[in-house]
Amino acid sequence: MTSLQAVRQAIVAAPFELDNKGEVPRPGTLYIPPAHRKALSRESVLVIGARGVGKSFWTAALNNDGLREQIGGSIKELANTVIFVGYAAQPKRLAYPDKETFKGLLDNGCEPYTVWRAVVIRRLAAIIEEAVVQDSWAASVQWVEENPEEFSRIVEAANEKLAERNQFGLFVFDALDRTSDDWDTMNHIVRDLLRIALWLRDFSHLRAKVFLRPDQMERTVTSFVDASKILATRADLTWERQDLHAMMWQRLINAPGEHGECLRSLITSVLPPTEKLSAEGGAWLLPRALNSEAPYQRRLFEALAGDKMGKDARRGVPYVWSVSHLADGHGWTSPRSFLAAISAAAEDSQRYGDQHALALHYESIKRGIQKASQIRVEQVAEDDPWVPEVMLPLEGTNVPCEYEAMRTAWEAAFPNGAGSITTTHLPPQHAGSWDGVRNDLERLGILVNRKDGRIDMPDLYRVGFGLGRKGGVKPRN
């Protein structure tokens, strides 16, 4: 029998990368939930997902030949698709302009629509082995403006070449919140990109895929003719509870060396002989029986953590509790938060040695929630640095609470109003009033407006921002 400490160490050693900023994912980390299959198909142009649900992960995976072939096992059309990354978190000067270059182009009177056309033409010209001006992005944009007929000829020729090869060209755009520090400018950039995506649909073998955060879906972003055709392709990157558990086990069985052997042995002890693990392309694959809760997935997690979050079942069931307490205000739990909590729980459980009969102690799972919340708050600070600033005056407050108490705390901390919030990146979209800031926090899933009018906060953020709740998981000291 595998020792408890060996299982805990194996979980800690598993490939639980908690933040993808464009790095190529490991083959063993690839798990495709049903909802994501639609999102990854060529015809889904608009893909919406909150922080940590996989936008950058899928961008990097699609751009890797080996991983795209692996994805193609589930989504056949991607096997003959050529990927062009048109924007991403990692800067690539020759593929797309960075934020500062974008700002310079717009300051000089260039329209975002023309900038995106320049991004497209650089990649399509290479398909037919022709060259367009690439001395600088300013020169490429100028060439697009001055050569509309030549531009059209190259695009049509590239489309025909792809058709001859029985291939499709897919332009992928991610991390668009990094294109500008101003909401109006960024909305303009995104709106013109969606116009580009609509234009590409006129060609038989060209498509675009645009990953956006929910708060980027302002009405002004789709205020152009025929925008409904793009909205009709929308897909959301969501994770059901069974998806999160399946994704976790997919990574666990691919832990390195003896750690992977330990966890694969644990799975084998729970599954029937008919359900076997298999390996392909240097990675272990999860049996189909573990893609759903019943009958084996929940039983397998109970082998790790038991069926109670305490001495009796009244405090919850670990299989459910570990996911539900990581949900944001919209009820969504991200794989990044779930993996962080499980990894931290395994590490913390080592303190119990063999005194506890299970690999994951229920108190350690609670501390795992604390760790995941801390990580989530740190990541929010990267994307929306104004959020920690407005949450600081609320530290120590118990939720749910009256909105008036919250606004009073903000007014005391910011006597010059919501417009005085300082930030190094995008400010609150509606910083004209505290009601607007509150609405922005609700849209981000940080605050929840209860039916009785009080304001609540999910544990995912509450713990990390230092707010309390009667009987809830305590904030970290």
* 25-68 pLDDT per residue, tens: 888 899 999 889 999 999 999 999 988 899 999 999 999 998 99
CA–CA–CA angle 135, 176, 326 (5° rounding): 150
Over pLDDT 70: what percentage of the chain?
98
> Is there a contact between 365 and 338 (Cβ–Cβ < 8 Å)?
no
* Rounded Cα gap, residues 319 and 304, in angstroms: 10
Strand partners, 219: none
pLDDT digits (tens, 9 = 90+) for 351-394: 988 888 899 999 999 999 999 999 999 989 988 999 999 999 99
Q: How far is CA 21 from CA 14, 18, 60, 89, 154, in A?
A: 19, 10, 9, 6, 32
> Is there a contact between 287 and 276 (Cβ–Cβ < 8 Å)?
yes
**Residues whose CB falls within 8 Å of the CB of residue 15, separated by 6 or more in sequence, listed in order:** 26, 28, 29, 251, 254, 255
Three-state SS letters, 71-116: HHCCCHHHHHEEEEEEECCCCCCCCCCCHHHHHHHHHCCCCHHHHH
> Is there a contact between 297 and 245 (Cβ–Cβ < 8 Å)?
yes
**Residues whose CB falls within 8 Å of the CB of residue 248, separated by 6 or more in sequence, listed in order:** 335, 338, 339, 342
Q: Does residue 433 have a pLDDT over 90? A: yes
Mean pLDDT of 175-184: 92
- Helix (H) / strand (E) element for 279: namely strand 278-280
* Rounded Cα gap, residues 121 and 212, in angstroms: 23
When computed from its CA atoms, the radius of gyration of the chain, rounded to whole angstroms, is 24
Mean pLDDT of 298-310: 94
What is the model's pLDDT at position 2?
61
Q: Does residue 423 have a pLDDT over 60? A: yes
What is the model's pLDDT at position 455?
96
pLDDT digits (tens, 9 = 90+) for 109-157: 999 999 999 999 999 999 999 989 999 999 999 999 999 999 999 999 9
Locate 109 and state its tokens.
């009177």
Question: Based on the number of CB atoms within 10 Å of its own CB, is 269 exposed (0-12), middle (13-18) or buried (19 or more)?
Answer: exposed
Q: How far is CA 423 from CA 218, 427, 463, in A?
A: 21, 6, 23
Q: Which long-range contacts does 272-280 make (Cβ < 8 Å, 24+ apart)?
A: 277/253
Kindly indicate the confidence band of residue 20, based on its pLDDT and cuts at 50, 70 and 90: low
Q: Does residue 85 have a pLDDT over 80? A: yes
Kindly indicate the confidence band of residue 476, based on its pLDDT and cuts at 50, 70 and 90: low
Q: Tell me which amino acid residue 86 is.
A: G
Q: Does residue 1 have a pLDDT over 50? A: no
The CATH class of 384-465 is mainly alpha
Q: Tell me which amino acid residue 45 is.
A: V
What is the model's pLDDT at position 21?
67
Share the mean pLDDT of the chain: 92
Q: Does residue 432 have a pLDDT over 50? A: yes
pLDDT digits (tens, 9 = 90+) for 97-113: 999 999 999 999 999 99
* Rounded Cα gap, residues 275 and 475, in angstroms: 42
Over pLDDT 90: what percentage of the chain?
78
Q: Where are the domains of the chain?
A: 34-236, 241-381, 384-465
DSSP 3-state of 243: helix
**Residues whose CB falls within 8 Å of the CB of residue 476, separated by 6 or more in sequence, listed in order:** 370, 371, 373, 374, 463, 464
DSSP 321-379: HHHHTT--TTS---HHHHHHHHHHHHHHHGGGTTSSSSSS-HHHHHHHHHHHHHHHHHH
> Is there a contact between 466 and 475 (Cβ–Cβ < 8 Å)?
yes
Strand partners, 223: none
Q: What pTM was computed for the model? A: 0.92
Locate 295 and state its tokens.
């009958």
* Rounded Cα gap, residues 327 and 239, in angstroms: 11
DSSP 3-state of 48: strand
**Residues whose CB falls within 8 Å of the CB of residue 112, separated by 6 or more in sequence, listed in order:** 102, 106, 188, 189, 191, 192, 193
* Rounded Cα gap, residues 39 and 37, in angstroms: 5
What is the model's pLDDT at position 477?
60
Locate 429 and state its tokens.
């979209």
